[in-house]
Each structure stands twice: as C-alpha cells, then as structure tokens.
Amino acid sequence: MADRALKKSIEKAIQNPVLTGTLGRFSEAYVIAKAKAYEGIDFEELRSRIAEIKRCTAEHLYELAEEFKKNAEAKGAKVFITNDTEKIKEYILNVAKEKGVRSIIKSKSMASEEIHLNSYLEKEGIEVNETDLGEWIIQLAKQKPSHMVLPAIHITKEEIGELFSKKINEEVRSEIPELVKVARKQLRDKFLNADMGISGANIAVAETGSIVIIENEGNAGLVTTLPKIHIALVGLEKLVANFSDVVPILTALPKSATGQLFTSYVSIITGQSLNTDSSFKDLHIILIDNKRTEMARDPIFKEAFQCIRCASCLNVCPVFRLVGGHVFGHVYTGPIGIILTAWFNGFSKAMNIQQLCIQCGRCKEFCPGKIDIPGLILEIRGRIVKEKGMPFIQKSIFSIVNNRRLFHSILRKASLLQRPFVQEGFIRHLPMFFTEIADYRSLPAIAEISLRDRIKDIKQGNLEEKAVFFAGCLIDFVYPEIGEAVIKILNKAGIEVIFPEEQTCCGAPARYSGALDVADKIVINNINALLKEDVQYIVSACPTCAVSLKYGFISALKTYQKNSFVNKAKEFASKIYDFSSLIYCLVKTKRLKIKSFDRQEAITYHDSCHLKRTLNVYLEPREVLTTAKYEIREMFESDMCCGMGGYYSIKFPEISKALLQRKLKNIRDTKTEMVVMDCPGCVMQIRGGFDKEKDNTQVKHLAEVIVKGI
C-alpha cells in the first residue's frame, strides 16, 4: 500500500473540484491546441532531431560547459559552474553585497526554486520579487509552483482576488483584466527600482556563449535589461553545441508547452549589453550542476537530458490532471518531475511519488524530447525495490503467481471458495479491508473451469497452420470464453491452436511493480514452453502480455546477461502477434471472412494503453469491426487509460476510480450500447464499473464480437 501521507494528499486533491476541473479543462484544450500548432510539422522528425541534439549534450557535457564559459567570458560575462548548490547562493549573495543590492526582480527560473534561493536572500534582508504573473501569485500565496510552465494553475481567480486585496489593502474584483491591472501596477515600481535581475534560460549555446529565453509576458526582457546586474541561473542540461540547435527547440517548446505557435518574446543574450547610462551590464551566468553530470554519466538516465522542460508530459498525464502538482511534493512535478526529483533530491525522495505512474505511456507519446518517461520511472522503481526490497506480502504474491503449479491450484480452490460472494458472475462486495477494491467496480468471479481445462474438449481438426496461444492469467482463469472465441476464429482461418500447459504469467504485474528479479524468473520457462512446438504464430489476446513477450523478455535476458538466450528470444519475438493485428492480416488476405450482421449496431472502441502506444495498433481493430459492418462512434479520449493498471488499482483505488468514471462517462456519451476493446484487463475494469452502476452497456473483447460473425 502507498504511504499514508501520499494517500491523504491524493484524496485531498481529488476532492478539490477547482483543481481537477481546471486541470481537466486545460488538459483537454491543450491536446487540441497542440495538434493544431503542429499542423504541417513532422513531429517525429522534429523530436528525433531534438533528442539527437540533447543526446550530444549529455555525452559532451563537460566540453560544452567549458566551451560555453570560454565564449561567454570572451564577451564580458562571468561564468560560474558548480555542483554545490550552497556555493551558488553564496555567489549570488556576494555579488549582491558587493554592489549594495537591496531589491531583486526575477523571471523564468525553476532552477532558483530548485536551490530555494528566494528564502535564502530574504533571510539576508534582500527583497525578492517574482515578476511572472503566475510566480508572483505563488509568492504572495507562499506556495510552491504546481506546474512547470503554469505555476499557479491550481489557484482560482477568486483566490487571486483575495490575495491581491490583502496585498494592496483594498478590494480587488476577481475579473482577469482587473487582476492583471493590479499586478502590472504593483510590479511596475519593482521593475524600475530593482538593483539586480535574476532569470533562468531555456537554452545555452556553447558555440557563441549565448543564452536564449522565451516568454509571453515580456517580464524576462525587463528583468534582464532594466537592472544593472543580471544573473542567469541555467541548468547544465540547457546547453547545446551549436547556434543552429536553437531552431528545433524553439520550434517545439511553445507548441508542446501550451499549444501556441510561437511565444510572444524570444531574447537572445550574448555577452554584456549596455545600460541606459552607457555603462556595461554586470552579467553573471551560473551553470548549475546539482547531480546533472552524474545523471549524464548514467547509461539509462542520460536520456532525461533530452528534456526541454515544456511540461507536455504534465499536461497529458491522466494522473497529474487528477491530482495536480503539489502531491508530488518537490519543485519539479508530474512525469518528468518524478525523474528529476529522484536525481536532484535523491531516489528515496522519489520513492512515494514514482508509484503514481500507472505506466499508460501517454507522456512518452507527446514528449518532444522523445524520452521514454515511463521506462525511466520503471527504472527508478526497480532501483528502489532492489535497494530497499519489496513488502513481503507483495513479493510473496508475485512469487506465487510465477509458480505455475501453486498459482493454478490456488485459483482452482479460490473458484470454489468464492461461491458465497458471486452474483451473476460478479463479486460485488468484499469484506473488511478489501472493501475499497470492489467499492467502485464489481470484480469478476474466477471461472469454474479454466481455459487450460476447457481446451482439452475443443475439437479443432487437422488444420494447415499452427499457432501457440499465450492466454495470460485473466483469459486463462477469469475470461476463458475470450480464449475460446480466439481459438474458434483462428480455426476458421485454418490455424490450429496449441495451448502449452507449462505457460505461466507473463511477469507484467511484478515487472510494473519494480520486482524485476521476480518477473524475470519466468522468462526462460515461458520461452521454452512456447517454442516447444514448431508454429507460425504465437498469439496473445492481451496487449500487456504481448508487450511482455515481445519486448520485456528480451530486455530481461539482456539485464541478466543471458546473452546466449537473447537470439532465441528474438526468434520468439518475431512470431508474436497481438490478436487484433493477426485478425486484421487474416481478413485482408481473405483467409478469414467476417459476415456482416443484419443489425447495423453502433459501437464504440476503447484503445488499451499497451496496444495503442507500445504496439502501435489502433487502426486494425477498427478496420476489423468496420468489415463486420459495425458503425464505430468514436468516444472522447478513446486512448485514455481506464484506470486498471493491474496492481495499481489495488494500491490507488481512489485514482483508479476517478479514471474509470471518466471513461464510463465518455463511453455513455457516445450513446452506443456496446464498447469493444482488446485487453482483458480493460474488460475487467470497464465491465466491473458498468455493473457497479447497474448500467447495461455491453463490454466486449474484440474476439467475443468477431466470433459471432464467422
């Protein structure tokens, strides 16, 4: 179970309608705006270029930092590079003391939040004023930013009105133009009277020693030009080798951040500029390390250098839009925030928040830096579990699941013991501490006869081709009828289905919980079991299992240096088909005919996370359903996670419930009577959700629908 404090802050966030409402609306509008902003641009090509540029940064960090220093200093800047965050604060204080600075204005600097600069300078009697509207609101509210580019997104305009009223001692109406007017008036004097300006930077160019700042409000332009001293705090990851590298980053940043085509202002600062009295500005650029060089040296986490801090991953993460940024507890929030917290604050500080990731993969799909964010979060999870271990009960459960004989005999016994709780195939209530798990969805009963026991009675005949069927735990023991449908359909296409008894769990529940060693133990046994027969296909009707078989097994073998087995695993992977893709091919090649039904029923389709985003399969099931003459009425956010996430729904039922309810609403809004999907896990979640709400909408696996038409 997750930490109690984390649970409490999740509950508080979910019950805050302002937070969930604002983030939800922003996230929905963002996806549309972002798609529009990228119209006519090859996003894949652009993000590959950015990834390459930043990969080069990670690989040549030291040289680039030195080159930047040399070139910036040649143009009059003073450059300070350090790993010690205390030294950064001392450096800034020394400059301030030396020049008699009493007042500082700031703009666009997450790095200064990272080192808690404001409170340090304020303790020394220096007035510090944030000037970006969102940051200023946060400063007045004495809070932390909740979002990387929209720091005050969680605060309503009514709350801002109250804050401003207190600040200026008079009533301020909560109308946006009025609020902006107050902020402008209040900040104008601060701009004019400040002795020092502190900014961040979006890019630092080694070739020219320039820093690039993009913004909408124009404050950074004033902060860097009005005071006679300018200090720029820049994380080492902002370095790029060449001036031409600026273009792809500038192209992507506003589009991915807020769905804007361009930002209003771009400032490029190369060396000292002139003050109004013709003296040269005192320009200091501090390149902050704070574990970044360590991160660049890590063979896996160096990928995080590809981040351009656009916050797109926050905007699209289904969990972030539900709980907001403060649940993450540190300066950087959301998906990338989990990774940065682990590095900048220590893995132990990320121990709780890394659990928030349901591994839906949506952030990876949107990231303009092409970072495998869920993969890196899983790596953090794995390293934490490796160091601290896993709760005994959880590890024991996974070990049982992986012990085929024991697991299967427990399930057979459980199918008898569950009888008093089962009604119409569902378990609708569970006693005591299990209540929460079945509180928002009915759970499916374990099948009385598993697929592995049923298959012996299925007559298949002597067919031309052969396929091995990897059922996975849910189809084998909970939904054997889906497995039977798969067998019937493949038989109809002339494929005999073999079910190797020795197959066991694909290891995904353990792998996604960070128990990589437990997950990896079943790899070789499964490969041996499935490759025993000479077949043309290895078929799975569960996308999570298909992903494990295709990718998870190979990476496990590499991790455990079972290199001699990797080639066998590759041969194995080449034969793996998810059910949808195989049926699509069989229909296309006219090996399988699907009859159109008399009744032209409108249905909707739910894209399972692993099928859509890892296997890139989403057109195929739609084509197959259209061949069967179904009218597909697309639901809103058809590829948004339904909240199942395996063990996640047990660990965070409050998040799982909220995600499920949103999905049920989107399905209902299509006004169809049936929702089809390819994943038995999603079937379990969505079918259980509708049953709990006594809604008759049918929830079907694609195989259950197609079998009616063969």
Q: Which is nearer to ligand SF4, 323 or 486 (CB)?
A: 323
Question: Which pair of structure tokens corresponds to residue 690?
Answer: 């509708």
DSSP SS3 for 131:
coil
Q: Which is nearer to ligand SF4, 76 or 375 (CB)?
A: 375
For residue 399, give the H/E element and its range.
Answer: helix 392-402
Q: How far is the CB of 62 from ligand SF4 (least distance, A)?
A: 23
Residues 6+ apart with CB under 8 A from 54: 237, 240, 305, 306, 307, 308, 369
Contact region with ligand SF4 (CB under 6 A), list: 192-200, 281-289, 351-359, 425-433: 351-359
Q: Which of 154, 238, 362, 383 binds ligand SF4 (CB under 6 A)?
A: 362
6 is a contact residue toward ligand SF4 (CB under 6 A): no
What would you measure as the largest C-alpha separation in the chain, in angstroms? 94
Task: Find the angle CA(332)-CA(220)-CA(245) to the nearest 5 degrees.
Answer: 70
- Using a 10 angstrom Cβ sphere, with 0-12 exposed, 13-18 middle and 19 or more buried, the burial of residue 8 is exposed
680 is a contact residue toward ligand SF4 (CB under 6 A): no
Task: State how beta strands 196-199 and 103-107 pair.
Answer: parallel
Contact region with ligand SF4 (CB under 6 A), list: 10-18, 304-312, 473-481, 522-530: 304-312
**Cβ pair 677, 544 in contact under 8 A:** no
Q: How far is the CB of 419 from ligand SF4 (least distance, A)?
A: 37
DSSP secondary structure letters along 425-490: TEE----GGGGGGGTSSPEEPPPSS-HHHHGGG------SEEEEEE-HHHHHHT-HHHHHHHHHHH
Rounded Cα distance between 690 and 470, Å, is 28
Cα 706 to Cα 136, 342, 447, 593, distances in angstroms: 58, 46, 22, 10
331 is a contact residue toward ligand SF4 (CB under 6 A): no
Rounded Cα distance between 631 and 628, Å, is 9
Q: How far is the CB of 350 from ligand SF4 (least distance, A)?
A: 12
* Binders in 32-61 for ligand SF4, by CB under 6 A: none
Contact region with ligand SF4 (CB under 6 A), list: 22-30, 164-172, 311-319, 534-542: 311-319
**Could you tell me the sign of the dihedral formed by the alpha carbons of 423, 426, 429, 432, in that order?**
positive
340 is a contact residue toward ligand SF4 (CB under 6 A): no
Q: How far is the CB of 174 from ligand SF4 (least distance, A)?
A: 31
Place of tokens 């003391």: 97
Q: How far is the CB of 10 from ligand SF4 (least distance, A)?
A: 13
Rounded Cα distance between 647 and 667, Å, is 24
317 is a contact residue toward ligand SF4 (CB under 6 A): yes
Rounded Cα distance between 130 and 660, Å, is 40
Contact region with ligand SF4 (CB under 6 A), list: 96-104, 362-370, 600-608, 687-695: 362-370
Q: Which is nearer to ligand SF4, 471 or 686 (CB)?
A: 686
Residues 6+ apart with CB under 8 A from 300: 376, 379
Site string for ligand SF4, 242-261 (x = CB under 6 A): --------------x-----
Q: DSSP alpha helices (H): ranges in 578-618? A: 579-588, 609
Q: How far is the CB of 333 from ligand SF4 (least distance, A)?
A: 10
**Cβ pair 553, 569 in contact under 8 A:** yes
Q: Which is nearer to ligand SF4, 14 or 357 (CB)?
A: 357
Contact region with ligand SF4 (CB under 6 A), list: 171-179, 305-313, 466-474, 701-709: 305-313
Contact region with ligand SF4 (CB under 6 A), list: 195-203, 359-367, 629-637, 661-669: 359-367
683 is a contact residue toward ligand SF4 (CB under 6 A): no
Q: How far is the CB of 53 from ligand SF4 (least distance, A)?
A: 12
363 is a contact residue toward ligand SF4 (CB under 6 A): yes
493 is a contact residue toward ligand SF4 (CB under 6 A): no
Question: Which pair of structure tokens corresponds to residue 294?
Answer: 């360590």
Q: How far is the CB of 116 from ligand SF4 (least distance, A)?
A: 21
312 is a contact residue toward ligand SF4 (CB under 6 A): yes
DSSP secondary structure letters along 240-297: ESSGGGHHHHHHHHHHHHHS-SS-SEEEEEES--B-TTSPBPEEEEEEE-TTHHHHHH
286 is a contact residue toward ligand SF4 (CB under 6 A): no
Length of the chain: 710
Q: How far is the CB of 360 from ligand SF4 (least distance, A)?
A: 4
Per-residue H/E/C for 506-555: CCHHHHHCCCHHHHHHCHHHHHHHHHCCCCCEEEECCHHHHHHHHHHHHH
307 is a contact residue toward ligand SF4 (CB under 6 A): yes
Q: Which residues of 91-100 are buried (b: 16+ CB within 10 A; e: fewer)?
A: bbbebbeeee
Q: How far is the CB of 307 from ligand SF4 (least distance, A)?
A: 3
Q: Which of 161, 227, 248, 369 binds ligand SF4 (CB under 6 A)?
A: 369
367 is a contact residue toward ligand SF4 (CB under 6 A): yes
Contact region with ligand SF4 (CB under 6 A), list: 354-362, 390-398, 474-482, 579-587: 354-362
Q: How far is the CB of 50 from ligand SF4 (least distance, A)?
A: 8
Chain centre distance of CA 700: 27
Q: How far is the CB of 641 from ligand SF4 (least distance, A)?
A: 7
333 is a contact residue toward ligand SF4 (CB under 6 A): no
Q: Which of 105, 115, 232, 336 binds ligand SF4 (CB under 6 A)?
A: 336
107 is a contact residue toward ligand SF4 (CB under 6 A): no
Q: Which is nearer to ligand SF4, 47 or 284 (CB)?
A: 47
Hey, what's the torsion of the CAs at 552, 558, 562, 567, to 10 degrees?
70
Number of residues binding to ligand SF4, judged by CB under 6 A:
25
Cα 16 to Cα 154, 328, 353, 455, 581, distances in angstroms: 10, 16, 19, 50, 42
Site string for ligand SF4, 206-245 (x = CB under 6 A): ----------------------------------------
611 is a contact residue toward ligand SF4 (CB under 6 A): no
Binding site for ligand SF4 (CB under 6 A): 256, 307-313, 317, 319, 335-336, 357-363, 367-369, 371, 373-374
